Amino acid sequence: MAIAINGDGTITGISVGGLPDGVVDAGTLAANSVDSAELIDGAVDDSHMAAMAASKLTGALPAISGASLTNLDARDLENALPAISGASLTGVTGSSKNGSFYLNLTTATGTVSVTSMGFTPKHLIVHFAIDNRRLIGFGMMGTMTRFSIASEDYNNVWWPNNSAQMRTAGGTMQQLDLSSLDSNGFTLSHTKTGSPTGSVRISWIAFG
- Give me the DSSP letters along 107-158: SPSEEEEE---SS--SEEEEEEEETTSS-EEEEEEESS-EEEEEE-TTT--E
pLDDT the model gives residue 152: 60
Beta bridge partners of 12: 4
> Within a domain: residue 75?
no
- Cβ neighbours for 105, distance < 8 A, ≥ 6 positions apart: 130, 166, 168, 174, 192, 196, 197, 198, 199, 200
pLDDT for res 92: 64
Q: How many domains does the chain have?
A: 1
Do the domain assignments include residue 148?
Answer: yes
Task: Print the domain residue range for 149.
Answer: 96-207
Amino acid 52: pLDDT: 73
Counting other chains too, the contacts that 8-15 makes at CB distance below 8 Å and 24 or more residues apart are none
Amino acid found at 178? L
Residue 108 CB contacts under 8 Å (≥ 6 apart), including other chains: 192
What pLDDT score was predicted for residue 77? Answer: 67
pLDDT (0 to 100) of residue 184: 92
154 in any annotated domain? yes
Could you tell me the pTM of the whole model? 0.53
Residue 130 belongs to some domain of the structure: yes
Q: Is residue 198 domain-resident? A: yes
Which parts of the chain register pLDDT below 50?
none
Confirm whether 22 is domain-assigned: no
- pLDDT for 185 equals 94
| Angle formed at CA 113 by CA 111 and CA 114, multiple of 5 degrees | 150
Is there a domain that residue 82 lies in? no
pLDDT tens-digit series, residues 132-191: 777 788 888 886 667 777 766 556 677 777 788 888 877 888 888 889 999 999 999 999
| Length of the chain, in residues | 208
Which pLDDT belongs to residue 103? 94
- The domain that contains 114 carries what CATH number? 2.60.40
